[in-house]
Chain A
Amino acid sequence: MTFRLSSDAMRLAIPALSLTLLLAAVFWLQPRAMSYVGLNLLFNLAVPIALATIAQMLVMAVNDLDLSMGTFVSFIACVTATFLRDAPVTGVLILAGAIVTYAALGIVIHLRNLPSIVVTLGMSFVWGGLAVLLLPSPGGQAPDWVRWLMTVRPPLAPMAIVASIVIAAVAHLVIMRSSLGVLIRGIGGNQRSVERAGWSIVRARATAYGLAGFFAVLAGIALVGLTTAADANIALRYTLLSIAGVILGGGEFIGGRVSPIGAVIGALTLTLAGSFLSFLRISPDWQIGAQGAILIIVLALRLMLNRLEKREKRR
């Protein structure tokens, strides 16, 4: 073979294949899913997860980890369902403030050389507290334009698919193709040499965090658009889901090795895995355990494909 897969392409091929296999299994179990409406139902809740995964990926690209993703998205959801609807100007200001706070976190973490895990763990309490203050009991309502955006029915493909493609494309352009993306990933790969080339690491890290904040804000808004209302605990699981999504998509914890398209695929895979389970009709006792099993199976699949790929490469 003269054609050589770049390591980026490899990083992508595996998650894409596992998603395809899983999708085939779901269609086999539930042929009804193979329709415009069916695909939308399968995937629309993956849209906010995909956005949160991209956000997490940006933080992971600079060798950090964000443990506050879930509470942050919950907080944004609360803001969206209250201020953004009732007082759009204030709402937008709060969202902008949240993004600035994220960027500031990046700065503090860099300047004081703090472990991002601890800082974001602390922030997860702060965002959670703010969300509880904002919505002590669930409620609020999605702004109409958000609701419209998330329920619009484009021709050809359902909203969920279109949105996923758009998110993947935009994130790919920003992170993989632009100079800014190269800089951010460069910090993950070898911060020292980026610094020696004369770049300001603080500024770059702040930008990475700010961008992550931006994508997380979009995740919160999209989530409210789907659920129509918010509560303070609405997205707590996004922390783990987003990390799992990045990993499933071929990203790594350190070294700036990430793949935005993979991350979106990872988020879709995770969502689909849940549906696959409910189509299997397992006894309630073991339904939770089956979630673990399916994760394991998907990852085993990844490993198998990885091996195949390696063998291919060696030839």
Chain B
Amino acid sequence: ETSAKKIALSNNYAGNSWRQAMLTSWGKVTGEAVKTGVVAAADAFTTAENQATEQAAQIQNMILQGYDAIVLNAASPTALNGAVKEACDAGITVVSFDGIVTEPCAWRIAVDFKEMGRSQVEYLSKKLPDGGNLLEIRGLAGVFVDDEISAGIHEGVKQFPQFKIVGSVHGDWAQDVAQKAVAGILPSLPDIVGVVTQGGDGYGAAQAIAATDRKMPIIVMGNREDELKWWKQQKDAKGYETMSVSIAPGVSTLAFWVAQQILDGKEVKKDLVVPFLRIDQDNLETNLANTQAGGVANVEYTQEDAVKVIESAK
């Protein structure tokens, strides 16, 4: 029974399509939940700039506002620990997802980012048994997710030594930044057979490479609609093959249901894992059809999904 409980979403960034999709999913699912009386309120809060300090202040305000649970996509896994601890001390349930926090009193719905990176190289090793040179596009320097995925990729390269990373640029998870960075390094690179990415940067890389007379390498995509559409075109035109992997923005709704279950008194393990969302050559069309134009491939979760995830973690 959680009909009197209030849940808040603390989001640190709204400046890209993934975050926007996440907010939309949250709005859709929680709106329904509030209407049917499952919870009393589920308000979303976003900070203006992607800054841990601002988000910490936001969490402190939520404590003052008397929310029962805070669902959190954190700007930093550690820098919010102070505020999270204060929330826990005030008796508030804190569930972090995507950008998780390390503070032990909070719950974590984590994606195995390392595996996400490693699996890209594994995929390439199947397509290109002979190996070759790779270009790595990283995210924003100094951010946890960037470090994790990159570590996974390098692990993968160690595992499949036929590959060699010959260049690495920071694309800040943005198509235009990635495009610029790739265009700058490309002229000086030897032939590359694959581009390993972190999501949100594949299309930019494809554009930059298309502007030269190089052969299009296998670019691992990140589930954005424009990436999928480009892939589909290339597939239809010349049978281009690749894969696409990212975390689904709808994971915010899973976090919502987990928080609701905890408020309901369910016993829930502190660490839960959600699979990342992977699109392959054969299910490209269906996924593309399900993705909003200009958006991100998405999955929204229901209460039952949450219960299942909680059960399986036990």
The short answer to whether A and B are in direct contact, CB under 8 Å, is yes
Residue ID in chain B nearest A289 by CB atoms? B48
> Given the complex of chains A and B, what is the CA–CA distance between A291 and B58 in angstroms?
13
CB <8 Å contact, A228 and B81: yes
> Given the complex of chains A and B, what is the CA–CA distance between A128 and B170 in angstroms?
15
Q: Mark B103-114, 1 if CB is under 8 A from A, else 0.
A: 100000000000
> Given the complex of chains A and B, what is the CA–CA distance between A138 and B12 in angstroms?
16
Known contacts A227-B56, A237-B53; is A232 also within 8 Å of B142 by CB?
A: yes
Residue ID in chain A nearest B23 by CB atoms? A284
CB <8 Å contact, A291 and B48: yes
Tell me the smallest distance from the CB of B303 to a CB of chain A, in Å.
Answer: 23
Residue ID in chain B nearest A286 by CB atoms? B46
> Given the complex of chains A and B, what is the CA–CA distance between A25 and B143 in angstroms?
36
CB <8 Å contact, A42 and B143: no
Known contacts A223-B53, A234-B52; is A140 also within 8 Å of B45 by CB?
A: no
Q: Mark A247-277, 1 if CB is under 8 A from B, else 0.
A: 0000000000000000000000001001100
Q: Mark B5-47, 1 if CB is under 8 A from A, else 0.
A: 0000001001000000001000100000000000000011110
> Given the complex of chains A and B, what is the CA–CA distance between A230 and B57 in angstroms?
16
Cβ–Cβ < 8 Å partners of A138 in chain B: 76-79, 142-144
Within 8 Å by CB of B61, from A136, A223, A232, A278, lies: A278
Which candidate, B82-90, B185-193, B287-295, is the interface stretch facing chain A?
B82-90
CB <8 Å contact, A275 and B61: yes
Q: Would you call A229 an interface residue if the criterion is a C-beta within 8 Å of the partner chain's C-beta atoms? A: yes
Which candidate, B63-71, B173-181, B217-225, is the interface stretch facing chain A?
B63-71
Q: Would you call B3 an interface residue if the criterion is a C-beta within 8 Å of the partner chain's C-beta atoms? A: no
CB <8 Å contact, B85 and A275: no
Cβ–Cβ < 8 Å partners of A132 in chain B: 141-142
> Given the complex of chains A and B, what is the CA–CA distance between A136 and B141 in angstroms?
7
Q: Would you call A41 an interface residue if the criterion is a C-beta within 8 Å of the partner chain's C-beta atoms? A: yes
Within 8 Å by CB of B52, from A131, A135, A227, lies: A227
Q: Would you call A101 an interface residue if the criterion is a C-beta within 8 Å of the partner chain's C-beta atoms? A: no
Cβ–Cβ < 8 Å partners of A139 in chain B: 77-78
Known contacts A229-B79, A231-B78, A287-B48; is A137 also within 8 Å of B53 by CB?
A: no
Chain A interface residue number, banded: 35 or more
Q: Mark A167-178, 1 if CB is under 8 A from B, else 0.
A: 000000000000
Q: Would you call A4 an interface residue if the criterion is a C-beta within 8 Å of the partner chain's C-beta atoms? A: no
Tell me the smallest distance from the CB of A283 to a CB of chain B, in Å.
Answer: 9
CB <8 Å contact, A236 and B57: no
Q: Would you call B241 an interface residue if the criterion is a C-beta within 8 Å of the partner chain's C-beta atoms? A: no
Q: Would you call B148 an interface residue if the criterion is a C-beta within 8 Å of the partner chain's C-beta atoms? A: yes
Tell me the smallest distance from the CB of B235 to a CB of chain A, in Å.
Answer: 36
Residue ID in chain B nearest A38 by CB atoms? B64
Q: Would you call B60 an interface residue if the criterion is a C-beta within 8 Å of the partner chain's C-beta atoms? A: yes
CB <8 Å contact, B143 and A233: yes
Cβ–Cβ < 8 Å partners of A234 in chain B: 51-53, 76, 79
Q: Would you call A32 an interface residue if the criterion is a C-beta within 8 Å of the partner chain's C-beta atoms? A: yes
CB <8 Å contact, A281 and B43: yes
CB <8 Å contact, A227 and B83: yes
CB <8 Å contact, B61 and A41: yes
> Given the complex of chains A and B, what is the CA–CA distance between A45 and B53 in angstroms?
7
CB <8 Å contact, B56 and A228: no
Q: Would you call B300 an interface residue if the criterion is a C-beta within 8 Å of the partner chain's C-beta atoms? A: no
Cβ–Cβ < 8 Å partners of B228 in chain A: none
Cβ–Cβ < 8 Å partners of A228 in chain B: 78-79, 81-82, 85, 103
Known contacts A275-B61, A287-B45; is A45 also within 8 Å of B143 by CB?
A: no
Q: Would you call A235 an interface residue if the criterion is a C-beta within 8 Å of the partner chain's C-beta atoms? A: yes
> Given the complex of chains A and B, what is the CA–CA distance between A274 and B140 in angstroms?
26
Q: Mark A85-120, 1 if CB is under 8 A from B, else 0.
A: 000000000000000000000000000000000000
Known contacts A135-B142, A227-B80; is A274 also within 8 Å of B147 by CB?
A: no
> Given the complex of chains A and B, what is the CA–CA distance between A128 and B140 in angstroms?
12
Tell me the smallest distance from the CB of B110 to a CB of chain A, in Å.
Answer: 15
Cβ–Cβ < 8 Å partners of B64 in chain A: 30, 32-33, 38, 41-42, 275, 279
> Given the complex of chains A and B, what is the CA–CA distance between A287 and B47 in angstroms?
8
> Given the complex of chains A and B, what is the CA–CA distance between A132 and B139 in angstroms?
13
Within 8 Å by CB of A140, from B57, B78, B143, lies: B78
Cβ–Cβ < 8 Å partners of B1 in chain A: none
Known contacts A138-B78, A228-B81, A234-B79; is A45 also within 8 Å of B57 by CB?
A: yes
Tell me the smallest distance from the CB of B17 to a CB of chain A, in Å.
Answer: 14
Q: Mark A40-70, 1 if CB is under 8 A from B, else 0.
A: 0110110011000000000000000000000
Q: Would you call A288 an interface residue if the criterion is a C-beta within 8 Å of the partner chain's C-beta atoms? A: yes
> Given the complex of chains A and B, what is the CA–CA distance between A48 and B63 in angstroms?
21
Q: Would you call B62 an interface residue if the criterion is a C-beta within 8 Å of the partner chain's C-beta atoms? A: yes
Q: Would you call B122 an interface residue if the criterion is a C-beta within 8 Å of the partner chain's C-beta atoms? A: no
**Interface residues, chain B, with chain A CB atoms under 8 Å away:** 11, 14, 23, 27, 43-46, 48-54, 56-58, 60-66, 76-83, 85-86, 102-103, 140-144, 146-148
9 closest pairs, A vs B, by CB?
Answer: A229-B78, A232-B142, A137-B147, A41-B60, A227-B79, A228-B81, A278-B61, A288-B48, A231-B76
Sample (15) of A-B pairs whose CB atoms are under 8 Å apart:
A30-B65, A45-B60, A131-B142, A136-B142, A137-B148, A138-B142, A138-B144, A139-B77, A139-B78, A227-B76, A230-B78, A233-B50, A275-B61, A278-B58, A284-B27
**Interface residues, chain A, with chain B CB atoms under 8 Å away:** 30, 32-33, 38, 41-42, 44-45, 48-49, 128, 131-132, 135-140, 223, 226-238, 271, 274-275, 278-279, 281, 284, 287-288, 291
Given contacts A33-B64, A233-B52, A271-B57, 15 further A-B contacts (CB under 8 A): A30-B65, A131-B142, A135-B142, A136-B141, A138-B77, A227-B80, A228-B78, A228-B85, A231-B143, A232-B141, A233-B142, A236-B49, A275-B61, A278-B65, A287-B46
